[in-house]
Amino acid sequence: MDILESDNVDLVITDIMMPSISGFEILRRVKETNELIEVILLTGEAPDKAKPAVSAMQGGAHDYLLKPVNLGELKGAIRGALEKQQLRMDNKRLLQELVQMAHADYLTGLSNQRSFFSLFSQEFERSVRYRRSLSCIFLDVDKFKTINDRHGHRCGDLVLERIGNVLIKHTRVSDIKCRYGGDEFVVVLPEGNQEGTQCLAEKIRHLTENELFDFADQPLKVTVSLGVSVYEVGSHQPASNLLNAADLALLSAKHAGGNRVVFKNVDDLAIRDIVPNTVGI
């Protein structure tokens, strides 16, 4: 059991009748430690006693072999146990990949819109509960349609991938980063304030503007517009207004010519500013 807890174990072969602990107890402890570890039980019980064999299989044992053990039979059981373990590990990894794919944007690796709203809702509730500020950045690529029309959609995809990389590299692990749809991105920053969030937005704008995108040997300059909003401690605005304010700030940046950062306070939102169905929360 000490070896089992300290080492990487794939397979346990154990007798059933032992002086200090039974093989069934070993089986139970192994499966509690890691259900992927396979167990082969050995017994000198008479073959007509089926109850121990049934108990072994119900407990998760891979096989139940009678002694004296035939070497070929034991090798076959070991081979089968390891193949079964590998298959279960492959299936578990595949399931994890499928879950990740369902929550991630295929192009940038950021969260997709579906998972974003769940993450944002949790973070907003945490912000209210612990009385912490929460800030948001909406980002949109300037004249993205022109990029696609002139250089093709593969070039547009490259631009989105690069911007996704900028967001991953220059934001915290705790920040929620999402490709919101098309060429629009959103970042939510727990405990973010106006000054820090605007500085980050300006940094992202500067990095994008000064990166020379090279596609098919054609240099390409790309700029982005960003809208910033902050949910301050004590505000009684709904969660959706934080996103609405950032979205409206982004629209102001676009209307002012793009390649700039604009801030809008959540508490300054007027009823006329709130666009129905702008966000899904």
pLDDT tens per residue, range 161-194: 999 999 999 999 999 999 998 899 999 999 999 9
One domain for residues 50 and 142 = no
pLDDT for 91: 75
Concerning whether 183 is annotated as a catalytic residue, the answer is yes
Q: Which residue in 140, 142, 183, 247 is the catalytic one?
A: 183
One domain for residues 50 and 97 = yes
pLDDT tens per residue, range 210-250: 876 777 667 788 999 999 999 988 777 888 899 999 999 99
CA 164, 167, 170, 176 dihedral sign is negative
What is the tally of structural domains in the chain? 2
HEC string for 3-53: HHHHCCCCEEEEECCCCCCCHHHHHHHHHHHCCCCEEEEEECCCCCCHHHH
CB 141 within 8 A of CB 224: yes
One domain for residues 134 and 245 = yes
pLDDT tens per residue, range 114-137: 889 888 999 999 998 889 999 999
Structural domain including 85 reads 2-101
One domain for residues 119 and 53 = no
114 phi/psi in degrees, rounded to 5:
-60, -50
Look at residue 261 and give its three-state secondary structure. Answer: strand
Which residue, 101, 130, 158, sits at the end of a domain? 101
One domain for residues 137 and 209 = yes
One domain for residues 51 and 139 = no
